[in-house]
Amino acid sequence: MMIIQSNPDPAHLEQIAHNRQTQINYLILVLTRRCNLQCASCYHGSPDSQQDMSIATLEKAFDLAIAGSGPLHIQLTGGEPTLVPELIEAAAQRALIASRPCTMGIQTNGTCLDAQTVALLKRYRIQVGVSLDGPPAIQEEVRGKSAETLRGLQLLESCALPFRLTTVISNRNVAELDRLALLLAGFRQAMGLGLDLLVVKGNAREAATMLPAPSTALIQGVSSLARTLTIINQRKEIPLQLRELELVKGLLNAKTKQVNRTRNFCYAQQGTSLAVHPDGRLFPCGQSLGDPRLFAGSVDQAAPMPLFPQRTLTELAADCSSCPLENKCPGDCPSRLHYNRDHNPLLACDLYRTLAYSLNTRRLDSCFEYIHPQRQADRRGASFPGSHPCHP
């Protein structure tokens, strides 16, 4: 067992307080740049090194994050973080002695999970997310080692460790989302899944074979997923939650309606998240890792956090009057809007509007009627602008 001592340098803490304009509420620790897969959707691209984070860097990252109050969430990622279980334990131990209440999660491809690592995750109550983009054939095509990922899910199941899936939606898997739900239905420990629209950065930009899903395909795929989950949950003791659907439900059920409401989509949009590269460089979020335009100093010399260009869905859309989420827009990932600026920037509108209509199945057809007439260019693979009815 690795024992972590917390003896931060007072001068380092003073420098942190001077440079940090806002406190950090979401800390992303990229424990390693090593990975055993080459996922087509990986926004990190080809690793610039095979470096693992040092204990010294990890300690300094915690010093940056605990200089505040209130809850702090720590997300462990990579590369593939389960390649460095000793760093998982080091981070978990450091969180236990932090001056702020902490929660911790890990995002893994699941291929390297073994009994010892699962026991480690259970011991420290680390929330588990597994990257799975579809049934085995799709997973093999876009990520690889699908059999090993499924073996990892089965291990989590047998060890009674709850998990959630994260799925990157692209042109390669959008038609298979319902089959992914059916696969997930067989796992008692599966709590749900979240949908991440593809970010065109890293491998997705370099290879150009994985693209954002066309709007019509996205609407059809998400509609089928929502219907399939409804059927599954009628039979499942613990319902599968779709993260985006729960968000839409909450917004629709909000008691007050604030006109021209703007919502911070994530901590990065607030400037309160911090991603730490294994070499100690700092960035606003995991998706911006390595982007020199969004460099925020290092754990030794932190700088004010740069913000993404402020583009919002409601500003990009000309008319939201027919959307059931008008004035309650969930918004979209600022880094996705930034990196996908050469593609349709309003796919999140299609996603959330479709889910809102799915709550009233009689209106679901109207979603297709509203979108479909202007999707001819989109179905031919043409890029935005001109393919969305809300576009000026």
Is 87 part of any domain?
Answer: yes
- Can you list the positions of beta strands (E) in the chain? 26-30, 72-77, 102-108, 127-131, 163-169, 190-197, 241-242, 273-276, 282-283
User: Taking 50 as the threshold, does the pLDDT of residue 93 lie above it?
Assistant: yes
Q: What pTM was estimated for this model as a whole?
A: 0.86
Residue 97 lies in a domain: yes
Residues 153, 235 share a domain: yes
Question: Residue 386: inside a domain, yes or no?
Answer: no
Residue 373 makes CB contacts below 8 A (sequence gap 6+) with: none
Q: In this structure, are residues 284 and 307 in contact, taking their beta carbons and an 8 Å threshold?
A: yes
Given this model, what pLDDT does residue 265 score?
83
Determine the Cα–Cα distance for residues 121 and 89; give it in Å rounded to an integer. 9
Report d(CA 138, CA 210) in Å as an integer.
12
pLDDT at 71: 95
279 domain residue, yes or no:
yes
Note whether 43 and 96 are same-domain residues.
Answer: yes
Residues 217-241: tens digit of each pLDDT: 999 999 999 999 999 999 999 999 9
Residue 308 inside a domain? The answer is: no
Residue 288 and residue 350 share a domain: no
Q: What would the pLDDT profile of 355-382 be if each residue is shown by its tens digit?
A: 999 997 545 444 544 443 333 333 333 3
The boundaries of the domain holding residue 360 are 313-379
Q: Residue 307: pLDDT above 90?
A: no
DSSP string, 358-384: HTSGGGHHHHHHHHGGG-HHHHTTPPS
**Does the residue 192 lie in any domain?**
yes
Structural domain total, the chain: 2
Q: What letter does residue 135 receive in the DSSP assignment? A: S
